[in-house]
Every structure is written in structure tokens, then in C-alpha cells.
Amino acid sequence: MEWHRLEPDVIAFLQPIAKDRLPFRLSIINSTLSHIIPQIRDGPSLLDYVVRCKPINDLMLLKTKNFSGAHISKHKKTILTFVDEWEKSYNRYVDDLVKQELKLQAHQTISPKLAIASIFTCTFCGQLSTGQFLKSHFCERSSAAIIEQYSMTTPGKKMLMDACLTFKEGEFWMPRPQGLPTHFKSLACRLVSIVSEYGLNPIEATTEEMDRASVRLQCATCKMQSVLSQTMNWREAIAHAAEFHTEPDSVVRWTHVRREGLYPLD
């Protein structure tokens, strides 16, 4: 059932019981989902399930006083399919960030295992994150991010959003709808020069290969002697570039230092 058809029933059903029954029902849904999907912390948000997953939609309207986890568990297969589709959506979201940065065509593919596709920065707080941890980044799971996404909400969605945020504030992640600005930026272009300094092909080098390489870099762009003398692995180098060379068109020059006997990065 599409949301615009479901919403009047949601409002009619939830308004009389929202204060008493809704938190209880959300608690059972959340607890049962955490058993069905152990990695729920990095998966769809509770609001995602309530608004977008049909079995949970239906259960929000179920007229029973004996609501339990059994009502949810019998839909396990459908819920797991929903999670799988959500993960695919998330992967496309991350892939698009890299393509936008490298100005690639939509049909071109970039493996998430590549070093150039592995690191992003949050435009809210400036923190760096690898792709696998974007979905658990605080700025994307904060109440502010959720409220912004539903800023043009309808009464039914607002009721559910308020209930979910009150119940489990700060633990959500949802891909941005098309047209809204993303809070993440890929650092692929800057990583291309770093990977090249390692003597590897940027469109082939994986994060594992970079971590194994016996190379350290020095920033040749910085003027301070204390920085010039620092040697950095590739992860430290991209963090340095993101913190100290923030101008959009700035080009960071590197010199590489090959050091035998270096231990691979953990």
C-alpha cells in the first residue's frame, strides 16, 4: 500500500493511542528487529521500517491489545528482503559520491575496495570516515538530520517521526532523497595523487595493497619545517590534506619515502 493511501488510516488509528500504545509498540518492533537483524545499528532506521517496510506499516495499524514480537517474526523473510534492498540503496549512494567526485558517467563502476573510493569527509563536522562507517556516522543519525529529511513532512509521517525520535534519538541513518544536498564528500581526487605517489595505479590499487606498501609520504606543499619532516602513511596523508589544504582547487604535492622493514598497517 502506498503511503498517501495508508496515511489517513495511520493518523486515525494512532492519534487516540499515540501517548500510551505507540512507544510500547515501537519498543517491541525495535527489540524484535534487533534479533532478526543483528547489525540493525548500521542498517535501516526504525523510522525507515515504520514508514517504508510494508509488514511494519501493517503492524502499526493492527488492532490488537496483545501485540508481540511474534507478529513481526512471521514476516522475517520480507523484512530481510527490505534490508537487502536498503543496503543496495546505500551502496549506490556511496558509489554515486565517488562518481560525482571523479566526474564519471553513470554506467561506469568503481569497486568499493579501491583506495580512491574508501574515504569520505562529513561536510558538517569535518570528520573523515571510510565508506563502511558512513551509515553509523553521528551527523547522519542525529535528530537534526532526520528532521531535515522530513522537513516537508505530512501529519502522519510527522507523528511517526516524533515517536521514533523520542524513542530512539540519535540512532538513525537514511539516504538523502534526490535533490537534497549530501553531507558527505568523497576524497577520491585527492586520493588519486596519493596512490600515484605510492607507485600504484589509482583505478586498481585496493586499500589492502596501500596498507601493505612500504612507502611513507611527506607533504611538499607545507612550508613549515616541522611538517616537512613528518612522514605519513596514506591514511595519515589524506587526513593531513583534508585538514590543512582545504581550498577547493588546492593541489597538494607529495614526496615519497620508501622505508624498508615497515610493518603493514593494521
Q: How far is CA 187 from the centre of its chain?
A: 15
Q: Is residue 195 domain-resident?
A: yes
- pLDDT of 210-258, one tens digit each? 999 888 898 888 866 565 567 889 999 999 998 888 776 677 888 877 6
117-126, 172-181, 193-202, 211-220: least confident range: 172-181
> What pTM, to 2 d.p., does this model score?
0.67
Query: By the 8 A CB rule, do 119 and 101 touch?
Result: no
Residue 122, helix vs strand vs coil? strand
Residue 108, helix vs strand vs coil? coil
Q: Based on the fold, state whether residues 22 and 99 are members of the same structural domain.
A: yes
Q: Based on the fold, state whether residues 175 and 252 are members of the same structural domain.
A: no
Domain boundary among 169, 184, 199: 184
Q: How many domains does the chain have?
A: 2
Residue type, 220: A
- Top-ranked range on mean pLDDT: pick from 43-47, 98-102, 143-147, 170-174: 98-102
Structural domain including 212 reads 188-258
**How many Cβ atoms are within 10 Å of 205's Cβ, its own excluded?**
23
Q: Based on the fold, state whether residues 147 and 47 are members of the same structural domain.
A: yes
Residue 79: predicted pLDDT = 92
Q: Based on the fold, state whether residues 100 and 202 are members of the same structural domain.
A: no
Half-sphere exposure of 91 (CA within 13 A, CB side): 11
Q: Based on the fold, state whether residues 142 and 254 are members of the same structural domain.
A: no
Q: Is residue 263 domain-resident?
A: no
Residue 112: predicted pLDDT = 84
